Amino acid sequence: MASQLDIPCLDCRNPAGIDDRPYVLLCGNQLQLQATGRKAPGPVTVDFVGGALAHRRKYGGGKGQQIAKAVGIRSGFYPRVVDATAGLGRDAFVLASLGCDVMMLERNRVVRALLADGLRRLGEAAETDRELAEIASRLHLCETDISAVDWLAQQAAESLPVVYLDPMFPERGKSAKVKKEMAAFHQLVGGDEDADALLEPAFAACYYRTVVKRPRLAPLLAGKKPSLSLEGKSGRFDIYTKHGIPH
């Protein structure tokens, strides 16, 4: 794995005793991204089976969720979605659990390895859980280093029903405080400084709409005004529509 990801293999060292690297990958029953040092917070992993995503799958509000409205889900219509900035795959899993077929793009090799490990464990759990099996069949990972901008630019015009974008927004000020356990992830990924370049190829490739998830007070992606926005307490969905959703 170290060879595949082009990172050094540190063998069996305790992350608490490492001070020359900010984070490490721990291999075991599940792949974990762990910050180093004595007071480091807990690890980051992709868990599509339990934890917060299991709770949201069961009690999250179904088609009434803003993300469902944003991508255009309605009874009998579950568009295919390309999540071009998958990250830890949480929104992609929610969309798959709601009935959409979702392709995840993630350019960071380490994050992509975390996603692949999460999908592996989802597949194992799906062997004895019909609901998870249906979700697993709709959730896919693009195994390539190509950037989302280049991948989208290679797609035929209007060939993707919905493109979903959630670029990492550079955190500033007090609102910049991220959950401690996510510190290593943010340090690894950083802010998507080239995020503005995503909108044009995404909109060219989509048929129905491109959806951009942003912090509530963040500027518009690429400065482009959306067709409409859905705003929540801490975030919003900017929706750039092309063709109408079928009724």
User: Is 107 a known ligand-binding residue?
Assistant: yes
Instruction: Report how far residue 193's alpha carbon sits from residue 82's, in angstroms, rounded to the nearest whole number.
Output: 21
User: Is 57 a known ligand-binding residue?
Assistant: no
User: Is 80 a known ligand-binding residue?
Assistant: no
User: Is 166 a known ligand-binding residue?
Assistant: yes
- Whether the CB-CB separation of 194 and 202 falls below 8 Å is answered with no
User: Is 13 a known ligand-binding residue?
Assistant: no
Length of the chain in residues, anyone?
A: 247
Q: Which residue has the tokens 């295919």?
A: 80
Binding-site residues from annotation for S-adenosyl-L-methionine: 90-91, 106-107, 166
Binding-site residues from annotation: 90-91, 106-107, 166
